[in-house]
Amino acid sequence: MLRVSPQKNRRWLELRILIVYTTRYGTTERAVELAKRLFEEEGHEVEVREVKENPSPRGYDLVVMSAPVYRDGPHWDLTDWISEHREELEEIPKAFFLVAMHLAGSVFMGKLHGGIAYSQPLIEAFEVPPFYGTLIGGEIDVERLSDEDRRKMRRFYAVLGEKLESKSLYREEDVKAFVRRTLLYYDWFGKHFRRGEVDKAKDFDFMEKVREMEARLDAEG
């Protein structure tokens, strides 16, 4: 049930949010912890659960899914959880962020690879897809990689014409942007991205919203 936020000057109602995630080396978990804090600062009730706990999404106003990218898509632990709870998830608005190292993506042999194309399995998994999703940068610490992951990553970077080395693309600003946009888009149209309601979002006029925002900004000076 939606509740009015006790926070002052909030434009949206208080939401009960489930963040469900899997992590391999800790970057996704760090991003999830920051997202939780940011949602809570906006007056929302947030529960964070790992997919290995097999949480039920029932009863939440919004489900946020997060995972590192492996094998050209979200880590299989997340997609397995989605498969198990897909019917429940069709009834709930969903958003996601994936953690990846190849953010820009490319066209290779006439097909999209990397970048936002990594999220295609999350789009195709549902009758009513997530209303918003994005990528944030990950981290590589070569010394912490398992032997198998090191071999795979070395091969991956060789295909890109690069050398595998430790580096970080993680930025807190990207997590903050995800939280801001998720709440904004939920308020605009995302709340209707559930089975039986998604048709209500078809009349959403993006440019009308832009004009409303411009008018408000002008009024605020």
* 84-108 per-position pLDDT tens digit: 999 999 999 999 999 999 898 888 8
Q: Which residues neighbour 157 within 8 Å (Cβ) at sequence distance 6 or greater?
A: 163, 164
Domains identified in the chain, total number: 1
In a domain? residue 8: no
Note whether residue 79 is domain-resident.
yes
Task: Please report whether residue 171 resides in a domain.
Answer: yes
Backbone torsion region of residue 71, taken as left when φ is above 0, otherwise alpha when ψ lies between -120 and 50, otherwise beta? left
Sorted by sequence, the CB contacts under 8 Å of residue 38 that are 6+ apart come out as 175, 176, 179
The parent domain of residue 179 ranges over 16-220
pTM of the model: 0.89
Structure tokens at 107: 């066209």
Q: Note whether residue 208 is domain-resident.
A: yes
Whether 68 is covered by a domain: the verdict is yes
Q: Indicate the average pLDDT of the chain.
A: 92
| pLDDT score recorded for residue 7 | 45
Q: How far, CA to CA in Å, does 74 sit from each of 12, 161, 178?
A: 30, 23, 17
Q: Is residue 143 part of a domain?
A: yes
Q: What percent of the chain has pLDDT over 70?
A: 95
On whether residue 39 sits in a domain, the answer given is yes
Query: For residue 3, is it within any domain?
Result: no
Q: Is the pLDDT of residue 40 over 90?
A: yes
pLDDT level of residue 2 (50, 70, 90 thresholds): very low
CATH number for position 45: 3.40.50.360
